[in-house]
C-alpha cells in the first residue's frame, strides 16, 4: 500500500536529501517518492525528540537507511528502516503503519521493536526476550536482522554520548551477539566495524595504544607493502593472469586477538597487512596460488581452501600465508569477483546484485537452514536466557569441517564432539546414538572432532540421551534437545513417583484415592499453583509439596479404606525409577542395605543408608522422610565405593583388577595415593547387591598384598 504524503513538520535535513539522491541511482522514481513519504511520516512522529548527542532523533533512522542503501536493499526494507523506532518511541501503532505502508513493512518494524511494555525480572531477562522475539521475526524474514544490524552499527558509531557503564554493556552485547550474527550472514564490513567499535569501548586504553602503534608501523612498512604489491602483480602477469591486486591493513581487533591468543607483543605480529587477489574464474584462483607460491615460500599448515569447502556463511576464497621479503609473513586471499561480492555483502548480496546464480541460491538455502535450526532451538528452550546461551555458542563460526559417510560436509564449532555431529545430522540420530566410528575406528561419543574427520554414528532403537552428554556437547541444538528430553523424562517419572507418594500418604489417612473426584483434583491443583493433576503429582515427586499435606487437603470426611494400612505404607524401590529417585552420593545405597527416603525440593526422592553420617544432619522435618524398602528381583547394577590399603609391590593393581573382574564386578573409576610402603586404592565398583559386594570383598582379601579393605560411606 502506498503511503500518503504528510506535511513536513520541519525542513528536510541535508542528510535526507543526500540519501534520496544516492537511492535514486538504483531505485525507481516512485520508490524514492514512497521513501520520502516514509521519511516525512517518521520525522513528524519523532518531532521534538533528540538523541543523547543533541541531534534531532530523525537523524538516526536516516543513518540506518543510509547504511542499508549502500547494500542496495529494497524499498520495503528501507521504509522499515526509516520507521523502525516509531512503534517503540512514539504513539504510532503497528496497525497504523500497516494501513499507511503495507503489512510487510509493519511486520519488519514490529520485528525490530523492543518489548518495552513487558515487565521483566532483570535486564538480562529483558534482553534475552528481545533477542528471542527478534530472531523469531528474523527466521520469517531475514531483512529484520539487516535493519537491526544497521541500527546497532549507527548506535555504536555514536556511543560516545552514553554513560561509561552503558557504553561497556552495549559494546559487550554487540561483541557477543550482533557482530557474530553479521559474520554468520556474511556481512563482512559491518562485522569488522562492529568488532572494532566494541573493542574501542570495552578496552579504550588498549585500543588507543594499538591504534598508535599501528599508525607508526604504517609509515615504516609503506615501502615494503608497495614492493610486495608490485612483485605480486608482476608474477601474476607473467603467469598470464589478469588480476586486481590490493593491500589491506588488518583490523585492530583482529591484531589484538592474535596478540592475546598467541601471547605476542605488537612488534611480533608481523602480518598486519594482507593482500587480496581477484581473478576472473575458479581455475584462475588455483593458477594464481601456484604463481604466488613460486614467488614466496608458503608457510606449512597455513593454507585453507574455502573454495572447495565454503564457510557456513557462504564465504569462498583461497587463503595462504607466505614468507615475504625479510622473513615477513604475508597473508594472501585469492577469489573471483562473485566470491568477493558474497564476501562483502553476504546474504544481502541477493538484493545488491539481483543475481540468480547458483552460489547465491546456495547461500540463501544455507541461511534458511540456519534460521530454521534457530527456530528449532527456540522451541526446545524453556526460557529466553537458555535460548540466548545456545545462540551465543552457535553464532561463533563453524571452524571444524567433518564428513558424513556419504561424503557430505558439515561445519561445526570448535571442540564439537561426536554427539554434536549426531544432532547436526538429525535430531533422531542424536537421541538414539550409542557409539561413533571416526575415520573407520571405534571412538567414544565424547571424542572431539578435527577437520577432515569422517564420522559415522551408531544408533540403537532403545537408546536415550544421557545426562552426562551435557558435560561435553557444545552446539545449541544438541544441548537444547538433550535438556528437553531430560526435562520430559523427569516430568513423567516425577509424576509416577508423586502418585506413589500421595497414595502412601492417603493410605495412612485411610482415604481411597479412587474416591477423589475430578473437581476436587482440579481445585487442589489450582490452589497449589499447578496447571493440572499431573503437574501437581510431578511437583510432589520433585519435593515441591509434601505428600502428607496434600493428602490431608484431599481427605474427605466419611470416605475411608477398610482394614489397616497395607503395602502403601512403604515405598518400594526397584532401581528403575530413573531421574525421579536418586541414590545419595554420600553413602551409595545398594539392595540389602537398610534405607530411608528423603524428599528434597526439585530433586525428588533421595535414598540414603539408615546409618549414613549425612542423615543426622539433614533429618529436619520428619514429614520429609519416608519409609522405603527394596523391591524383589532387582537386576540392575549399583555404584559402591571401596577402599583398599595394599603393599606397594609391582603388579598389585593388575591382581586387584583381575580379582574384581573374576567376582563379576566392573570398575567405573580408580584413584591411588601412595606413601612408600603402602598404597591406598579407591575403587568405584558396580555391584548387584550387598551379597555381590561381599563376594567381591572376599575375592580381594585373598590377595596377600591387601592389608585392609572397607566400604566407604559418608
Select the more confidently predicted residue: 221 or 97. 97
For position 380, what pLDDT does the model report?
Answer: 55
Show the DSSP H helices in 396-475 as ranges.
418-425, 427-432
Report pLDDT digits (tens) over 279-308.
Answer: 999 999 999 999 999 999 998 888 889 898
Q: With contact defined as beta carbons under 8 Å apart, do 495 and 531 qualify?
A: no
Give residue-wise pLDDT tens across range 559-573.
433 333 333 457 788
Which segments of 158-203 does DSSP mark as H helices, in order? Answer: 164-173, 179-184, 188-202
pLDDT of residue 383: 58
133 shares its domain with 39: yes
Asked if residue 545 has pLDDT above 80, the reply is no
Query: Mind listing the pLDDT tens digit for each residue in 692-711?
Result: 999 999 999 999 999 999 99
Is residue 25 located within the same domain as residue 146?
A: yes
The confidence score (pLDDT) of residue 317 equals 93
Q: Report how far residue 397's alpha carbon sits from residue 609's, in angstroms, rounded to the nearest whole number.
A: 50
Residue 125 pLDDT? 63
User: pLDDT by residue (tens digit) across 304-343?
Assistant: 898 988 887 778 999 998 888 877 788 899 999 989 988 8
Chain mean position to CA 702: 53
Summarised one tens digit per residue, pLDDT across range 452-462 is 789 999 999 88
* Structural domain containing residue 229: 205-355
Q: What is the pLDDT of residues 660-670, one digit of tens each?
A: 999 999 998 89
Contact 472, 446 (CB under 8 A): yes
Q: 262 and 135, same structural domain?
A: no
Evaluate if residue 357 carries a pLDDT over 50: no
In this prediction, residues 134-150 reach a mean pLDDT of 79
Cell numbers placing 590: 545398594
Asked whether the predicted pLDDT for residue 490 surpasses 50, the reply is: yes
The residue among 132, 167, 202 that closes a domain is 202
Chain center to CA of 398: 12
Predicted confidence (pLDDT) at residue 117 exceeds the cutoff of 60: no
Average pLDDT estimate for 210-221: 78
From 609, 630, 651, the end of a domain falls on: 630
> Looking at residue 386, what DSSP letter applies?
H
Q: Buried b vs exposed e over 585-603: b needs ≥16 C-beta within 10 Å?
A: ebbbbbbbbebbbbbeeeb
- Whether the pLDDT of residue 364 is over 70: the answer is no
* Cell numbers that stand for 658 in this block: 583381575
Query: Which pLDDT score, from 0 to 100, does residue 266 have?
Result: 79
Q: Point out the least confidently predicted range of 60-64, 344-348, 701-705.
A: 344-348
- What pLDDT, on the 0 to 100 scale, is given for residue 644? 94
* pLDDT value of residue 373: 65
The pLDDT value recorded for residue 377 is 60
5 within some domain = no
Q: Which three cell numbers stand for residue 498?
A: 508423586
Please state, in angstroms and rounded to a whole number, the distance separating the CA atoms of residues 174 and 158.
14
Q: Is 290 found in the same domain as 170? A: no
* The pLDDT of residue 22 is above 80: yes
Beta carbons within 10 angstroms of residue 133's beta carbon: 19
**pLDDT tens-digit readout, 71-80:** 888 899 999 9
CATH of residue 663: 3.30.70.260
Residue 222: is its pLDDT beyond 60? yes
Give me 289's grid cell.
596460488
Q: Residue 392: inside a domain, yes or no?
A: no
Asked whether residue 456 is assigned to any structural domain, the reply reads no
Number of domains in the chain: 4
For residue 373, give the nearest of 445, 312, 457, 433 by alpha carbon: 312
Does 435 fall in a domain? no
> Cα dist. 14→284, 570, 601 in Å?
46, 83, 64
Same domain membership, residue 649 and residue 568:
no
Out of 181, 202, 223, pick the residue that ends a domain: 202
Beta bridge partners of 609: 595
Task: Decide if 694 contacts 648 (C-beta within 8 A).
Answer: no
- Using the predicted structure, report yes or no on whether residue 3 has a pLDDT greater than 50: no
> How open is the CA angle 391-392-395, to the nearest 5 degrees?
80
Q: How does pLDDT run across 629-659, given as a tens digit for each residue?
A: 898 888 889 999 999 999 988 899 999 999 9
Q: What element of type H or E holds 228?
A: helix 204-238
- For residues 657-671, one letter each, b for 16 or more C-beta atoms within 10 angstroms of the residue's C-beta and e for the rest, the string is eebbeebebeeeeee
More confident residue, 470 or 114: 470
What is the rounded distance in angstroms from the CA atom of residue 672 to the CA atom of residue 97?
Answer: 72
Contact 422, 407 (CB under 8 A): no
Same domain membership, residue 260 and residue 153 = no
Condensed to tens digits (0 to 9), the pLDDT of residues 240-251 reads 999 999 887 778
Which of the pair, 212 or 379, is modelled with greater confidence?
Answer: 212
The residues, any chain, with a CB within 8 Å of residue 13's CB and separated by 6 or more, are 56, 58, 59, 62
Classify residue 415: in a domain, yes or no.
Answer: no
Q: Pinpoint the alpha helices (H) of 444-574.
A: 476-508, 518-527, 533-541, 547-554
> Does pLDDT of 609 surpass 80?
yes
Kindly give the pairing relationship between strand 433-438 and strand 409-412.
unpaired
Q: Are 293 and 219 in the same domain?
A: yes
d(CA 683, CA 5): 81
pLDDT of res. 120: 44
First to last CA, the chain: 74
Q: Are residues 195 and 209 both part of a single domain?
A: no
Query: Annotated catalytic sites, by residue?
Result: 88-89
Mean pLDDT over the full length of the chain: 82
CA distance 109 to 132: 15
DSSP state of 619: -
| CA separation for the pair 144, 132 (Å, rounded) | 13
The yes-or-no verdict on residue 510 having pLDDT over 60 is yes
* Most trustworthy range by pLDDT among 111-120, 129-138, 167-176: 167-176
The predicted structure's pLDDT at residue 387: 62
Q: What angle do CA 443, 444, 447 make, to 5 degrees?
A: 90
Per the DSSP assignment, residues forming a β-bridge with 115 are: none
321 near 329, Cβ under 8 Å?
yes
342 contacts: CB under 8 Å, gap ≥ 6: 186, 314, 315, 316, 349, 359, 360, 363
Residue 245 falls inside a structural domain: yes
Confidence of residue 130 (pLDDT cuts 50, 70, 90): low
DSSP class of residue 562? Answer: S
The C-alpha cell that represents 638 in the structure block:
549399583
Q: What CATH code is carried by the domain that includes residue 237?
A: 3.30.460.10
Q: How far is the C-alpha of 214 from the C-alpha of 547, rounded, in Å?
A: 70
Position with higher pLDDT, 558 vs 707: 707
The answer to whether position 441 is within a domain reads: no
pLDDT over 90 percentage in the chain: 33
- Specify whether 127 is located in the same domain as 260: no
DSSP structure string for 35-100:
HHHHHHHHHHHTTT-B-TTSSBTTHHHHHHHHHHHHTT--HHHHHHHHHTTHHHHSS--HHHHHHH
Position with higher pLDDT, 144 vs 235: 235
- Burial of 562 (C-beta count, 10 Å sphere; 0-12/13-18/19+): exposed
Which pLDDT belongs to residue 557?
Answer: 41
**Residue entry with cell 590490493:** 246
Return contacts of 572-578, CB within 8 angstroms, 24+ apart.
572/628, 572/629, 572/630, 572/631, 573/597, 573/607, 573/628, 573/629, 573/630, 573/631, 574/631, 574/634, 575/631, 575/634, 575/636, 575/638, 576/636, 577/493, 577/496, 577/497, 577/605, 578/489, 578/490, 578/493
Q: Are residues 346 and 249 in the same domain?
A: yes
Examine residue 374 and state whether it is found in any structural domain, yes or no.
Answer: no
Residue 354: per-residue pLDDT: 45
Q: What is the CATH number of the domain that holds 141?
A: 1.10.3210.10
Residue 246 Cα distances to 275, 284, 302, 318, angstroms: 6, 17, 20, 15
**Is the pLDDT assigned to residue 595 strictly greater than 60?**
yes
Whether residue 242 sits in one domain with residue 120: no
Measured CA to CA in angstroms, residue 361 lies from 88, 340, 350, 598 at distances of: 35, 16, 9, 59
My answer on whether 625 and 668 are in the same domain is no
Three cell numbers written together for 392: 551465543
Amino acid at each position: 500500500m502506498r503511503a500518503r504524503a504528510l506535511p513536513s513538520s520541519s525542513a528536510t535535513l541535508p542528510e535526507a536529501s543526500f540519501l534520496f539522491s544516492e537511492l535514486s541511482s538504483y531505485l525507481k522514481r516512485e520508490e524514492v517518492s514512497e521513501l520520502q513519504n516514509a521519511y516525512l511520516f517518521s520525522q513528524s512522529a519523532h518531532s521534538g525528540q533528540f538523541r543523547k548527542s543533541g541531534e534531532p532523533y530523525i537523524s538516526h533512522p536516516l543513518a540506518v537507511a543510509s547504511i542499508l542503501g549502500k547494500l542496495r536493499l529494497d524499498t520495503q526494507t528501507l521504509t522499515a528502516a526509516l520507521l523502525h523506532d516509531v512503534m517503540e518511541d512514539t504513539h504510532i501503532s503497528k496497525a497504523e503503519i500497516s494501513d499507511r505502508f503495507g503489512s510487510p513493512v509493519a511486520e519488519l518494524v514490529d520485528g525490530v521493536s523492543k518489548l518495552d511494555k513487558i515487565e521483566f525480572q532483570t535486564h538480562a531477562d529483558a534482553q534475552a526476550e528481545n533477542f528471542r522475539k527478534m530472531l523469531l521475526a528474523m527466521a520469517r524474514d531475514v531483512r529484520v536482522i539487516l535493519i537491526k544490524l544497521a541500527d546497532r552499527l549507527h548506535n555504536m558509531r555514536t556511543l560516545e554520548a552514553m554513560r561509561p557503564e552503558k557504553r561497556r554493556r552495549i559494546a559487550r552485547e554487540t561483541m557477543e551477539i550482533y557482530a557474530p550474527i553479521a559474520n554468520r550472514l556474511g556481512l563482512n564490513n559491518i562485522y569488522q566495524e562492529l568488532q572494532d567499535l566494541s573493542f574501542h569501548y570495552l578496552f579504550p586504553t588498549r585500543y588507543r595504544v594499538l591504534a598508535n602503534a599501528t599508525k607508526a608501523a604504517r609509515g615504516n612498512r609503506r615501502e615494503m607493502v608497495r614492493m610486495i604489491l608490485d612483485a605480486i602483480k608482476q608474477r601474476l602477469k607473467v603467469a598470464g593472469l589478469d588480476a586486481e591486486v590490493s593491500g589491506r591493513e588488518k583490523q585492530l581487533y583482529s591484531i589484538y586477538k592474535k596478540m592475546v591468543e598467541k601471547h605476542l607483543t605488537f612488534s611480533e605480529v608481523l602480518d598486519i597487512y594482507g593482500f587480496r587477489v581477484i581473478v576472473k574464474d575458479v581455475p584462475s584462483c588455483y593458477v594464481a596460488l601456484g604463481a604466488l607460491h613460486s614467488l614466496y615460500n608458503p608457510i606449512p599448515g597455513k593454507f585453507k581452501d574455502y573454495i572447495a569447502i565454503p564457510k557456513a556463511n557462504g564465504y569462498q576464497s583461497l587463503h595462504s600465508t607466505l614468507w615475504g621479503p625479510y622473513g615477513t609473513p604475508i597473508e594472501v586471499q585469492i577469489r573471483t569477483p562473485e566470491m568477493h561480492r558474497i564476501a562483502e555483502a553476504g546474504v544481502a548480496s541477493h538484493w545488491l546484485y539481483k543475481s540468480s546464480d547458483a552460489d547465491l541460491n546456495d547461500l540463501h538455502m544455507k541461511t534458511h537452514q540456519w534460521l530454521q535450526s534457530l527456530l528449532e532451538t527456540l522451541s526446545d528452550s524453556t526460557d529466553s536466557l537458555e535460548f540466548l546461551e545456545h545462540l551465543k555458542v552457535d553464532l561463533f563460526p563453524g571452524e571444524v569441517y567433518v564428513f558424513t559417510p556419504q561424503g557430505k560436509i558439515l561445519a561445526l564449532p570448535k571442540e564439537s564432539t561426536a554427539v554434536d555431529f549426531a544432532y547436526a545430522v538429525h535430531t533422531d540420530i542424536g537421541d538414539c546414538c550409542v557409539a561413533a566410528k571416526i575415520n573407520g575406528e571405534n571412538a567414544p561419543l565424547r571424542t572431539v572432532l578435527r577437520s577432515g574427520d569422517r564420522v559415522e554414528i551408531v544408533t540403537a532403537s532403545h537408546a536415550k540421551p544421557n545426562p552426562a552428554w551435557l558435560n561435553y556437547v557444545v552446539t545449541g541444538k544438541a544441548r537444547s534437545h538433550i535438556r528437553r528430553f531430560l526435562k520430559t523424562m523427569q516430568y513423567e517419572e516425577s509424576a509416577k513417583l508423586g502418585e506413589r507418594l500421595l497414595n502412601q500418604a492417603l493410605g495412612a489417612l485411610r482415604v481411597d484415592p479412587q474416591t477423589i473426584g475430578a473437581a476436587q483434583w482440579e481445585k487442589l491443583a489450582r490452589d497449589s499453583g499447578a496447571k493440572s493433576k499431573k503437574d501437581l503429582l510431578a511437583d510432589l515427586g520433585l519435593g515441591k509439596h509434601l505428600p502428607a499435606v496434600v493428602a490431608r487437603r484431599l481427605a474427605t470426611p466419611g470416605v475411608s479404606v477398610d482394614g489397616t494400612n497395607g503395602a502403601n505404607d512403604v515405598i518400594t524401590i526397584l532401581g528403575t525409577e530413573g531421574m525421579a529417585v536418586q541414590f545419595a552420593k554420600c553413602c551409595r545405597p545398594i539392595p540389602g542395605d537398610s534405607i530411608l527416603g528423603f524428599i528434597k525440593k526439585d530433586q525428588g526422592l533421595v535414598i540414603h543408608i539408615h546409618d549414613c553420617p549425612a542423615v543426622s544432619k539433614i533429618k529436619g522435618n520428619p514429614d520429609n522422610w519416608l519409609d522405603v524398602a527394596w523391591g524383589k528381583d532387582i537386576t540392575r547394577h549399583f555404584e559402591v565405593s571401596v577402599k583398599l590399603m595394599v603393599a606397594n609391590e609391582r603388579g598389585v593393581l593388575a591382581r586387584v583388577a583381575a580379582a574384581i573382574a573374576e567376582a563379576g564386578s566392573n570398575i567405573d573409576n580408580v584413584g591411588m595415593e601412595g606413601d612408600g610402603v603402602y598404597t591406598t586404592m579407591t575403587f568405584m565398583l558396580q555391584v548387584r547387591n550387598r551379597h555381590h559386594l561381599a563376594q567381591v570383598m572376599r575375592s580381594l582379601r585373598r590377595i596377600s598384598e591387601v592389608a585392609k579393605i572397607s566400604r566407604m560411606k559418608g
